[in-house]
A = this chain, B = another copy of it.
Amino acid sequence: MSDSALPIAFNPAGILLDPKKGLSRQLYHALRARVLDGRLSGGARLPASRDLAAALGISRNSVVRAYDQLYAEGFIEGRIGDGTYVTQLPEKKTSPPKKLSTNLSTGFSTGLPTGLSTKTPVLPVITSSKVIHSSALHKVARHSLDSPPSGPPRAFRVGVPAFDLFPFDVWSKLQAGFWRKPDLQQLCYGDPAGDARLRGLIAAYLRTSRGLACTPEQILITCGAQQGISLCAQLLVELGEGVAVENPGYHAAAQAFAIAGAQVLGVPVDQEGMQCDALAGLPHCRLAYVTPSHQYPSGVTMSLARRLALLDWAERTQGWIVEDDYDGEYRYSGAPLSPLAALDRQGRVIYVGTFGKVAFPALRLGYLVLPKALIEPFAQRRSLDMRHSEVSTQAVMAEFMASGHFQRHIRRMRRAALSRRNTLLAHWPQGVEGLGELPAIVAGLHVTVAVSSLEREQALLALASQVDVEINGLSRYWLRDSTEPVDNRAGLVLGFAAVPEVAIKAALARLSHVWR
């Protein structure tokens, strides 16, 4: 370890790397910690990768990988021809939140998510869905539900991974093994928080693969992500309170909050994700539901500045952030992004994870990572809701993880999704009237493409449907009473992982034919 002066204002002294462990990961964590605690302040220049590698006695490749991850997560930024600098992050607010003026549509940036950038929109800022709580039945019946489509997977169903590649033979053997000689104790009533071994393995996975430090006690097993969101809605929201959701966004989450009695408040999304400045002006709002890794459906990654602003808001208001990391495992360059929850020091973030996007959708198995104060209330509520999740699925997933199948399968799924993405990119029809360019797809399982008007969106969807191609209109992801002009809401949302490359190619050929 060298402590000789470097040609720039950065001293690597104190960065102790264990050569037996992943060097780039360790360096990433060390630099990240210094940015967050201010030892590396905004605007500070980092050494060139070759200089830092020499100073630390590690390979330049390790430094480049650490820098890439820090760059992807917004901790550092590059200036072309000038080097690498620590991102200038916003000051932490310490004053109590101020109400914005009644004209809420002033004072916000009007950036747009990637893929929507062909338009010059006038963004709505705050929209709210109807609050329905007068009749418990009406609460549900008045909502049009965002149920996922059923039937065999086809191009381009959204939200479905390449589960045709799941090792069902392995799963079958593990299931048979569990049932052949079951431990009777396991078949009595179980822990409402879930199988202890599985919770430990999930905590270990999140620590090593996602940079999220958590204990097994913080893991609560759920029947999929939707149940995790629904639990948050029912336990953390008071009747009539506001809940901030991304607009456009994931309706099934908004609906879960609405039926729990929340007033759903849409917050616009731009290139940096949810416009968190708007939160302070929302009435009685103490919960925000966000998809920071890969905004649903726009695909935007929430910037580091916004992440910190969101955490700051939650700390000041003693509010909650529900982070839905529904497809965080899928990133096509570098490691998956570290979740927002990894930045949380005050226990304000509830992280929602699922196995459905890595294994198969019908596997109703997900989890929450809970701040310590919420562990006991969530487990108790879950006990009253349904006792606990099905035991064999939990035990079999634990064995699947412990024996290395899970990590292997994630890599397989990532490769498959990448290959299917590439097929989409290679055969995407060009020159279709009103249809924007495919944006770069660096993460996730779906892509959003801009369309010039709602009328054109509907026309393209109808033509796709005629040739048996399933595409979602972007317009349906907006809250019902959004003030955004309808033509600005238009677009296509395509899932590219649900079917093999040959089916993607065939579907695109049919689309090219009918769309031109």
Of chain B, the residue at the smallest CB distance from A192 is: B147
Contacting pair B226 A152 (CB below 8 A): no
Q: How far is the CA of A238 from the CA of B139 in the complex (A)?
A: 11
| Chain B proximity of A52: nearest CB distance (Å) | 47
Of chain B, the residue at the smallest CB distance from A172 is: B179
Which residues of the other chain, B, contact A186 by a CB distance below 8 angstroms? 362
Contacting pair A180 B172 (CB below 8 A): yes
Give the interface segment out of A302-310, A388-396, A431-439: A388-396
- Knowing A137-B235, A362-B186, A380-B145, say if A386 contacts B152 (CB, 8 Å): no
A20-55, CB < 8 A from B: none
Contacting pair A230 B140 (CB below 8 A): no
Which residues of the other chain, B, contact A151 by a CB distance below 8 angstroms? 185, 188
- Knowing A148-B387, A235-B140, say if A163 contacts B184 (CB, 8 Å): yes
Which residues of the other chain, B, contact A190 by a CB distance below 8 angstroms? 150, 362
Q: How far is the CA of A163 from the CA of B451 in the complex (A)?
A: 59
Query: Is the CB of A3 closer than 8 A to any CB of chain B?
Result: no
A371-397, CB < 8 A from B: 374, 376-377, 380-381, 383-393
Contacting pair B230 A386 (CB below 8 A): yes
Most buried by B among A150, A151, A187, A363: A187
Contacting pair B259 A381 (CB below 8 A): yes
A211-251, CB < 8 A from B: 222-224, 226-227, 230, 234-239
Contacting pair B184 A237 (CB below 8 A): no
Q: How far is the CA of A152 from the CA of B185 in the complex (A)?
A: 4
Task: Give this chain's copy count.
Answer: 2
Which residues of the other chain, B, contact A381 by a CB distance below 8 angstroms? 140, 259
Query: Is the CB of A8 closer than 8 A to any CB of chain B?
Result: no
Q: Indicate with 1 or 0, residue by residue over A162-178, a CB within 8 angstroms of chain B CB atoms.
A: 01101011011101101
Contact of A179 among B143, B168, B361 (CB under 8 A): B168
Contacting pair B385 A189 (CB below 8 A): no
Contacting pair B377 A390 (CB below 8 A): no
| Chain B proximity of A328: nearest CB distance (Å) | 19
Contacting pair A189 B362 (CB below 8 A): yes
Most buried by B among A137, A149, A363: A137
Query: Is the CB of A298 closer than 8 A to any CB of chain B?
Result: no
Q: How far is the CA of A498 from the CA of B19 in the complex (A)?
A: 55
Contacting pair A175 B224 (CB below 8 A): no
Q: How far is the CA of A187 from the CA of B180 in the complex (A)?
A: 23
A430-488, CB < 8 A from B: none
Contact of A390 among B171, B184, B223, B255 (CB under 8 A): B223
Which residues of the other chain, B, contact A164 by a CB distance below 8 angstroms? 184
Query: Is the CB of A510 closer than 8 A to any CB of chain B?
Result: no
Q: How far is the CA of A226 from the CA of B227 in the complex (A)?
A: 15
Of chain B, the residue at the smallest CB distance from A176 is: B176
A139-162, CB < 8 A from B: 140-141, 143, 145, 147-153, 160
Contact of A189 among B149, B238, B255, B384 (CB under 8 A): B149
Which A-B residue pairs are the 4 nearest by beta carbons? A172-B179, A176-B176, A148-B189, A227-B386
Which residues of A line the B interface, CB within 8 A?
133, 135-137, 140-141, 143, 145, 147-153, 160, 163-164, 166, 168-169, 171-173, 175-176, 178-182, 184-192, 222-224, 226-227, 230, 234-239, 252, 255-256, 259, 360-364, 374, 376-377, 380-381, 383-393
